């Protein structure tokens, strides 16, 4: 079977979901979700804890079992081997090696992906921690090691599951700036967060609640439709209206 060559035109969505549902044990984690993620943009996947964000990202990354409905990634079935090099996935739980230094972790994953390190550590603000053991890092620094690993090989589609959770406000702002830069360079980003305020940094929003897609819209449209600039309040008003 030949390697998939993704179609990078504006006409082909980076992700397309039609009536996607996922059951996890007794829980219906996603319920008939349909949307398209436009290429080359920064899309925020926002919703409270338990709303299905991680399940959806896992489904797109091709690691979630029992996905029903029709889901395509760059025009292909999720999880297809050749798709991997186009994807960068940062899971919510850290998958870095505690007993290796930052650089050793990066080199290890770079070898697996056949990628160059380039200036990645600088880019995520970890240059000073290059030779530190991961187990001695703060939570925020660890998250940035995972992020650097997701960025290896300059993937065209980045799936980042709560990459800014627990970080200090300054660092959060820097990371959102980096995400904006990456989108500016042509990457497609799908970034989840349970912090509604982060909606401001996104170009498009997917709002989830109880496994259902509440709305897909831009931050400006959200403000216009709910008559408030308070993002938590905007979310509440959308729910009340729905």
Find the shortest distance in angstroms from Cβ 54 to Mg ion.
3
For position 105 contacting ligand ADP by CB under 6 A, the verdict is: no
For position 52 contacting ligand ADP by CB under 6 A, the verdict is: yes
Q: Where are the alpha helices (DSSP H) in 152-207?
A: 169-184
DSSP 39: T
Q: For residue 124, give Cα distances in angstroms to 96, 119, 145.
A: 15, 9, 8
Query: Who's near 116: CB < 8 A, 6+ residues apart?
Result: 110
Name residue 46's beta-bridge partners. Answer: 193, 207
How far is residue 66's CA from residue 119's CA, in Å, rounded to a whole number? 38
How far is residue 188's CA from residue 159's CA, in Å, rounded to a whole number? 9
How far is residue 170's CA from residue 125's CA, in Å, rounded to a whole number? 12
For position 2 contacting ligand ADP by CB under 6 A, the verdict is: no
Which residues sit at the interface with Mg ion, rule CB under 5 A? 53-54, 92
Name residue 189's beta-bridge partners. Answer: 42, 158
Find the shortest distance in angstroms from Cβ 227 to Mg ion.
29
Q: Which is nearer to ligand ADP, 63 or 117 (CB)?
A: 63
Q: Pattern 137-176, binding to ligand ADP, x per CB under 6 A?
A: ----------------------------------------
Q: Quick one: which of 47, 78, 155, 163 contacts ligand ADP (CB under 6 A)? A: 47
How far is residue 27's CA from residue 16's CA, in Å, rounded to a whole number? 23
Q: Which is nearer to ligand ADP, 58 or 142 (CB)?
A: 58
Q: Which is nearer to ligand ADP, 54 or 141 (CB)?
A: 54
Q: Which is nearer to Mg ion, 139 or 186 (CB)?
A: 139
Find the shortest distance in angstroms from Cβ 224 to Mg ion.
28
Q: Which residues bind ligand ADP (CB under 6 A)?
A: 24-25, 27, 29, 47, 49-55
């Amino acid at each position: 079977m030949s390697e998939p060559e993704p179609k990078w035109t504006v006409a082909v969505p980076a992700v397309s979901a039609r009536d996607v549902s996922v059951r996890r044990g007794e829980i219906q984690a996603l319920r008939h979700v349909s949307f398209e993620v436009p290429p080359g943009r920064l899309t925020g996947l926002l919703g409270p804890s338990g709303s299905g964000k991680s399940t959806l990202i896992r489904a797109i990354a091709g690691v979630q079992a029992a996905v029903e409905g029709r889901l395509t990634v760059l025009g292909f079935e999720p999880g297809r081997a050749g798709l991997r090099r186009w994807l960068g996935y940062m899971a919510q739980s850290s998958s870095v090696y505690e007993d290796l230094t930052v650089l050793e972790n990066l080199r290890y994953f770079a070898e697996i992906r056949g990628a160059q390190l380039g200036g990645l550590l600088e880019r995520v603000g970890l240059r000073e921690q290059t030779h530190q053991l991961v187990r001695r890092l703060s939570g925020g620094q660890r998250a940035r090691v995972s992020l650097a690993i997701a960025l290896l090989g300059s993937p065209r589609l980045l799936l980042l599951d709560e990459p800014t959770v627990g970080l200090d406000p300054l660092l959060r702002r820097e990371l959102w700036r980096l995400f904006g830069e990456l989108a500016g360079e042509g990457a497609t980003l799908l970034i989840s967060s349970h912090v509604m305020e982060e909606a401001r940094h996104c170009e498009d929003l997917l709002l989830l609640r109880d496994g259902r897609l509440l709305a897909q819209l831009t931050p400006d449209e959200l403000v216009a439709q709910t008559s408030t600039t308070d993002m938590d309040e905007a979310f509440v008003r959308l729910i009340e209206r729905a």
